[in-house]
Chains A and B, each alone.
Chain A
Amino acid sequence: MAGPIPTGADALVVDAKDHVATSLRELKRGESASYRLSDEVKRIEVLEDIPFGHKIAIMDIEKDTHIRKYGETIGLATMAIAAGAHVHVHNVESIRGRGDQAAQGGQKA
């Protein structure tokens, strides 16, 4: 992220280890969107509308995968996610800050 982001890409992958790209404009279902991964520009078919700033899967992701952005884990896939799908709260949950799970654990014990 040290240099300028070249223009012309529709989405940006922050780190080469990431499962997702972040959209730099609203992406429409059915279009072929370009995304930048380091020095390369690649393309992906957009499976559903993705608002500006939201994430698109750039590969098929299995359920329970630790999803990476910034090269780090941002959460857990709660279902299988296809390449080109919108990655957000409907298919990813936090691993941290889960007082709800702590409460359930407490009841079981």
Chain B
Amino acid sequence: MSHFNGYARSNGEYGIRNHLLIIPTVICANQVCNRITQLVPDTVAIPHQHGCSQIGADKTRTFDTLAGTGRNPNVGAVIIVSLGCEVVDPYELADNIRATGKRVEVIDIQEVGGSVKAIQVGTALAKEMRLELDTLVQVPIPLSELRIGVKCGGSDATSGMASNPALGAASDLLIEQGGTVVISETTEIIGAEHVLAARCATPEVADQLYAFVERFEKEVDRMGADMRGGNPSPGNIAGGLTTIEEKSLGCISKCGTSPIVGTFEYAEPIPGTGLYFMDSPGNDIECVSGMAASGVHLVCFTTGRGTPTGAAVVPVIKITGNKLMYERMKDNMDVSVSDILEGNAGIIEAGERIWQEILSVADGQLTKAEILGHQEFSINRIGPSL
């Protein structure tokens, strides 16, 4: 299979889903967005806690995450719901997303006269825009256009020995096809950064990787605490992971063996094709939301302990190397590679299984998280609320 079917966007990008996205610029607009999605099927909202009382780089990061989610090619059109007095400017946000060529509408709750009227206006708009999106016909898309994020969460000892190396083999297959892979989780390369740095395409890229880690470790120093207990988490420790170094050394294999061609900040657009590193915390939802804002089409997510989470605008494929957990949590797992540790499958063979799942999901097959309605979204904060 050299192609999959998806949606052509007017800026030359392709989506593997065709979402109508409802974005609140601020927490105060969440409930109006939720009501609109309840009234109009096949719409997705991204309620969040932020958008006001923020300044500087922290405010910019919230804006970039909302804008990037709207620009993601899996999104066909956007309704922005604003309260009217918040820090995130809804019209600047709309213009940023409109640059991709998609339709964006703005509703101002204070201007239209409160929640009920905003819900009425939003529902009418959403029905009309959903009908428009449903007229789009799918087209064949070359594999080289595909961009995936690789993530691990709820890790245990099986993650580093089975699911992450198998996902790495699948990552290598996509890079071979000319596609793009984003690895992230700065916290979870601490103690393994020298291994990744040795694979960076240039010394400048390696320096940037080290700078991301140093910035994070300084924050941990500022907190004055041992990061163990927060990361590795209590569940990681119960699963056999003793230190952040051990966890990191198991994490990094999920991006395969290709050279790292560049780095970028959280939620910024992916700068090109190939394997990239995005700065981000290891926190599952913040990381996956940042990847979606950067423009990945889907995320491959390995877990040993088991986790149900998905994402608002990108499918999340759950992969495990832990047979006991797979048997318990089949509802949430898309791919099992637990036969690796039983000696019944090689890493490459298991990687091929993940690759086939990536192709199916890119082609429209729903993930367990999508079927169950998981639409998690959260924004990484880097400053205080005022």
- Residues of A participating in the B interface, judged by any CB pair closer than 8 Å: 1-9, 12, 14, 22-24, 51-55, 69-70, 72-75, 87-89, 92-103, 106
C-alpha gap A8/B244 in the complex (Å) = 30
C-alpha gap A87/B245 in the complex (Å) = 14
Whether the Cβ atoms of B240 and A102 lie closer than 8 Å is no
Out of B161, B231, B342, which one reaches A1, CB within 8 Å?
Answer: B161
Residues of B within 8 A of A102 (CB): 220-221, 224
Q: Across the interface, name the chain A residue whose C-beta is closest to B253.
A: A1
What's the minimum C-beta distance from A5 to chain B, rounded to whole angstroms? 5
Whether the Cβ atoms of A100 and B224 lie closer than 8 Å is yes
Q: Across the interface, name the chain B residue whose C-beta is closest to A66.
A: B245
Most buried by B among A4, A69, A97, A99: A97
Sample of 16 more A-B contacts, CB < 8 Å, known A97-B190, A103-B221: A4-B345, A4-B346, A12-B161, A53-B156, A75-B246, A89-B237, A94-B228, A95-B243, A97-B226, A97-B231, A98-B220, A98-B226, A99-B226, A99-B227, A100-B225, A103-B225
User: Within B225-252, which residues are at the interface with A (CB < 8 Å)?
Assistant: 225-228, 231, 237, 239-240, 242-246, 249-250
How many B residues touch the partner, as a band?
35 or more
Out of A8, A55, A73, A106, which one reaches B245, CB within 8 Å?
Answer: A73
Whether the Cβ atoms of A100 and B343 lie closer than 8 Å is no
Judge if B73 is at the interface, Cβ distance under 8 Å. Answer: no
What's the minimum C-beta distance from A21 to chain B, rounded to whole angstroms? 11
Residues of A within 8 A of B322 (CB): 53
Count of A-B contacts judged by CB separation below 8 Å = 129
Whether the Cβ atoms of B344 and A97 lie closer than 8 Å is no
Q: Across the interface, name the chain A residue whose C-beta is closest to B166.
A: A1
What's the minimum C-beta distance from B251 to chain A, rounded to whole angstroms? 11
Contact A8:B343 (CB < 8 A) given known A22-B161, A75-B242, A99-B223: yes
Whether the Cβ atoms of B246 and A7 lie closer than 8 Å is no
Judge if B184 is at the interface, Cβ distance under 8 Å. Answer: no
Residues of A within 8 A of B156 (CB): 53
C-alpha gap A54/B160 in the complex (Å) = 12
Most buried by B among A5, A55, A75, A98: A5
- Minimum-distance CB pairs A-B, first 8: A53-B157, A103-B224, A97-B227, A7-B343, A53-B240, A102-B221, A74-B246, A75-B243
Q: Across the interface, name the chain B residue whose C-beta is closest to A70.
A: B249
Residue contacts A-B, CB under 8 angstroms, 25 given: A4-B345, A4-B346, A5-B341, A5-B342, A22-B161, A52-B157, A53-B156, A53-B304, A74-B242, A74-B243, A75-B242, A88-B242, A89-B237, A94-B227, A95-B191, A95-B245, A96-B190, A96-B191, A96-B245, A97-B226, A97-B228, A98-B220, A99-B224, A100-B224, A102-B221
C-alpha gap A23/B348 in the complex (Å) = 22
Whether the Cβ atoms of A69 and B226 lie closer than 8 Å is no
What's the minimum C-beta distance from B347 to chain A, rounded to whole angstroms? 6
